[in-house]
Amino acid sequence: MIDVVILFFILGLTAGLVRSDLKLPSALYESLSLVLLLTIGLKGGEGLAKQALGPLLPQLGGVILLGVAQTFIAFAILRYAGRLGRSDAAATAAHYGSVSVATFAVCSNWLMTRNIAFEPQSAIFLTVMEVPAIMVGIILARGIGRETNWRALAHETFLGKGVTLLIGGMAIGWAAGPLGLEPIKALFYDLFKGALALFLLEMGLIVARQTGELRQRGAFIVVFGVCMPLLSALLGLGCGLAMNLSVGGVTLLATLAASASYIAVPAAMRLAVPEANPALSLAAVLGVTFPFNILAGIPLYHWLATQFSGAPI
């Protein structure tokens, strides 16, 4: 049975493709993003309040290397197989080396609906994997030069809305602990699935608007948008198994690796690599990879996680 939040995405996608007048207010979309980011951060912080931080350091190093490796691999494919210009290849590779909060939220909900446990530090993985791909993408685009405004870039990367809300939410969840969070759980935890459903409705409408760019760019973007997440998911599976994560944790890390950013990276790339074509990256990410992951990828990654770990399905 298809999860109800996925049905909301399909509704938005269908409405967009048939050119319906359906449109969510921009203020509502911003509010939903805020609720989702804070809730993910709060849940991660609550989990971290129950465990020591020291053992997490090797895992954080592992996910940073994972994000860097994905960015280099994506760049090589886009540059030499796709024959994209250096700037476009680097910017698009940065999107695929980074992660998608919405895909993380869908996967978390998918696991929780099926009572599949996963490690609380997964929210930290989400935050940590946002940054390295941006820095690698800039270096791939032009190297380190005097013309790079590192101050503005660092501000956009580390103090952007998404990273600030995730880190802030985790700090609050860690400081308050399970008991301290009880008064606000009705707003953030209980309404999480409803907020996610409305968010995916708007995402469906956004994806529908990328079909024109996909028609112009041809089959390569479609093939890349499906094959790159599959390759990244395998890298994420290997990383999760090496870290001895649970089946749910491996599934979530594989999904994170397979996802691609459409919030933090586009904002950073506009500052650092303004000559890159953002429509190309967003067409691949939102037109192909995002719908593939939430419609087919997550169940596939969970199946692979159970197969490689030897756990019962």
Confidence of residue 148 (pLDDT cuts 50, 70, 90): low
Q: Which amino acid is at 196?
A: L
Q: How far apart are CA 269 and CA 90, in angstroms?
A: 9
Instruction: Quote the domain boundaries for residue 56.
Output: 4-10+25-309
Query: The CATH number of the domain where 43 resides is what?
Result: 1.20.1530.20
17: in domain: no
Concatenating the DSSP letter of every residue in 259-294 gives ---SSHHHHHHHHH-TTS-HHHHHHHIIIIIHHHII
Whether 276 has a pLDDT exceeding 70, the answer reads yes
pLDDT at 226: 96
19: in domain: no
The total domain count for the chain is 1
Q: For 34-51, what is each residue's pLDDT tens digit?
A: 888 888 888 878 877 877
Q: How far apart are CA 272 and CA 266, in angstroms?
A: 10
236: in domain: yes
160: in domain: yes
pTM beyond cutoff 0.75: yes
- 8 A C-beta contact, residue 262 and residue 210: no
265: in domain: yes
- Backbone phi, psi, residue 287, to 5°: -80, -25
